[in-house]
Structure 1
Amino acid sequence: MARPTTSSVATARALAQIAVFAGLIAALGLPGAIPVMGMAVPVTAQTLGVMLAGTVLGPWRGAAAVLAFEALVALGLPLLAGGRGGLGVFFGPSAGYLAGMVAGAAVIGLIVHGVRRTGPVRPTWLRTALGCLIGGIPVIYTFGIPVQAWVTGLGLGETALLATAFLPGDLLKVILAVLVTMTLRRTYPQVFAR
């Protein structure tokens, strides 16, 4: 029996990490959602999973984890707030936020890890905070707000104003993502190895 090659082990590890973070994003939607007055999009903890996917896995694997999660949603698994799933959610008020989650994970990963492909990745407090702050809030909102406005028929300004209700929770998620990432870096650094 042939021994696995280094590249096949690395590929298996990458796929396992992607699957774990897709599961984490799904699990963070299960506790339920908090409805926001006037918003067609509820508050969930899933963007915390998106932030962690970007900070831990980097840009490409982080985005792949979000895509894997969204593929499960598209297949009909009830993994979004309120037990929603299926292709219809990609045409509803949350559709832009779903697209923004993929872009957000990639931007977070790029800011935290850069474009290095070899050697250990060492996220810093500052890069992790900036990555989560930029990729986890304005990037996701840039996709989500216009689509929500278009689907709901509200004005762009009115939808953007309503979206400010998400900011306190999203800022808390940034803090949690930074703390978890830096704790992981200190206690389990091999998770960041490439």
Structure 2
Amino acid sequence: MRDQTRMLVLAALFAVVTAVANFIKIPVGVVPITLLFFATALSGVLLGPKWGAVSQTVYVVLGLVGLPIFTGGGGLGYVFQPSFGFLLGLIPAAWVIGMVSRGEPGLVRVALAALAGLGTLYLVGLPYMWLILNVYLKSAMALPALLWSGMLIFLPGDFLKIAGVTALYRPLRRALERR
């Protein structure tokens, strides 16, 4: 019971960390650069698949019920934003990262886990972005433009985030294991 309570508290903490990470942003194109993936990757490697995904679910649900913690605010209407698919993608990304980095992973496995989570994020976010832009908003964005504005422009920063997660993993894991 005590471990379950501890994990609930840590999941709530990482939901808050994710919300704060979203306020650190650089506007570029349709979707701004934020530290969301950094927080998601940390939640996956530090909390594991279940609790990492729970932390990201809490973050998304809090934004959908109206807390202004998404880049453009919050509320149920946010599901019609092109970037909402990336918010949804945080949940399976944290799960994938937690699954790949289970146990006592080395730094290479932490980096590979974060890379797998990043792929998962784009697998969810890009089709959703295409759907909203091309079907709902009827903007007829071509695939090359979608890939550029929804992924390619972000990859250098994403690789830096993965490096940051890899560098911080061990010290943060030790800090969380202290009672």
TM-score (normalised: structure 1): 0.83
Deviation (angstroms), 1:157: 3.5
Mapped contact 2:42–2:169 kept (Cα < 8 A): yes
**Equivalent of 2:69 in 59, 73, 79:** 79
Q: Structure 2 CA distance, aligned partners of 1:24 and 1:54? A: 13
Q: Which runs of 4+ in 1 moved over 3 A?
A: none
Mapped contact 1:123–1:182 kept (Cα < 8 A): no
Report which of the two structures shows the higher radius of gyration computed on alpha carbons. 1
Mapped contact 2:60–2:88 kept (Cα < 8 A): no
Flag the 1:77–1:175 CA change in 2: closer, same or farther, 3 A.
same
Q: How does 1:28-177 map to 2 (within 5 A)?
A: 28-31=21-24, 33-36=25-28, 39-82=29-72, 84-113=73-102, 121-135=103-117, 137-153=118-134, 154-162=141-149, 163-177=151-165
Q: Structure 1 CA distance, aligned partners of 2:17 and 2:176? A: 19
Q: How many residues of Structure 1 are paired with residues of Structure 2 in the alignment?
A: 172
Q: Structure 2 CA distance, aligned partners of 1:100 and 1:155? A: 22
Q: Structure 2 CA distance, aligned partners of 1:74 and 1:161? A: 27
Q: Structure 2 CA distance, aligned partners of 1:40 and 1:184? A: 33
Identity of aligned residues (%): 33
Give the aligned partner of residue 138 of structure 2: none
Which ranges in structure 1 are unaligned for 5 or more consecutive residues?
1-7, 114-120
Q: Secondary structure at the match of 2:33?
A: coil
Deviation (angstroms), 1:52: 0.3
Which ranges in structure 2 are unaligned for 5 or more consecutive residues?
135-140
Q: Secondary structure at the match of 1:58?
A: helix
